[in-house]
Amino acid sequence: MIELEESEYPNLVQMTVDGKMTEEDVEMIETFIDEHYGHEETLNALVDIKNFEGTDLLGIVKGILVDIKHWKKYGKFAVITDSVLVEGGSEISNLAPGIEVEQFDRAQKDQAWEWLKK
């Protein structure tokens, strides 16, 4: 399941992943991006992963990117999670060249926001 929220910044979406992503989640992401950020040149995302439920980081990012027609608009992904859960982060740059991905521990959430705003 994924939840999406607008942030106070015009080109920054906040996503919370809690469990396995579904086809409906992917469709919801696309609709949300179209409605809220379709006019932005570049879109950055804060992705807070609370529970993988059998999906690795690469699988989650694939779910977010694969069916979104605006995926080329993404500039940065700041991934917030428990560091021991993250696997596959280095493979994301191969999946989506041009997208910067940084992983932050929960205690570093403010740093993640600052990195995204640069």
Q: For the chain, what are the domain ranges?
A: 2-117
Q: Which residue has the higher pLDDT, 89 or 21?
A: 21
Instruction: Please check the confidence at residue 116 and state whether its pLDDT lies above 90.
Output: yes
pLDDT in tens, 26-69: 788 888 888 888 777 788 989 888 876 655 555 666 666 654 56
pLDDT in tens, 73-98: 788 888 888 755 455 554 555 556 67
The first and second tokens of residue 32, run together, are 């949300």
The CATH number assigned to the domain with range 2-117 reads 3.40.50
Sort strands 2-6 and 12-18 into parallel, antiparallel or unpaired. Answer: antiparallel
- pLDDT for the residue numbered 113: 92
Closest CA to 69 of 110, 91, 38, 96: 38
pTM for the whole structure: 0.77
**Dist. CA 110–CA 99, nearest whole Å:** 20
